[in-house]
Amino acid sequence: EFYDEWKNVKYKLGGNSRNGIDCSAFTQRIYKEKFDLDIPRTTISQVSVGTEIAKSELMPGDLVFFKTGDIGHVGIYLENGMFIHASTKTGVTISELDNSYFSKSYWKAQRVID
């Protein structure tokens, strides 16, 4: 449902609307609108929210982080190896953790929702 509302919204660094959104603003919005939880605005701040978990323990709603570029990348795990995120290339989309790009750049996961 949330994906349908945001699907194909373009990526915009520093953006926080349907006119363009970046990855950390997107995760912040999902947490606020779907879980009524406030998390920090930036990827580097979101890295320390919650409890770090192993990739093998991922559950829907967990934050997944990647070492990409200077500021990193964040998305939210869905299920079956898939996560939702605001991609610099395709905008808001669903991707596979195990695709070649994301499997190489995977960094860590944080559980925010108990």
pLDDT of residue 82: 98
Enzyme catalytic residues: 23, 73, 85
pLDDT at 103 over 80: yes
Q: Please report which confidence band the pLDDT of residue 70 belongs to, taking 50, 70 and 90 as the band edges.
A: confident
Structure tokens given for 99: 């695709």
What does the pLDDT average to over 75-98?
97
Averaged pLDDT, 11-29 = 97
Nearest to 18 by CA among 31, 4, 32: 4
67 C-beta neighbours (distance < 10 Å), count: 11
Q: Are 76 and 64 in contact (CB under 8 A)?
A: yes
Please state the rounded mean pLDDT for residues 6-31. 96
Average pLDDT over residues 15-20: 97
**59: pLDDT strictly greater than 80:** yes
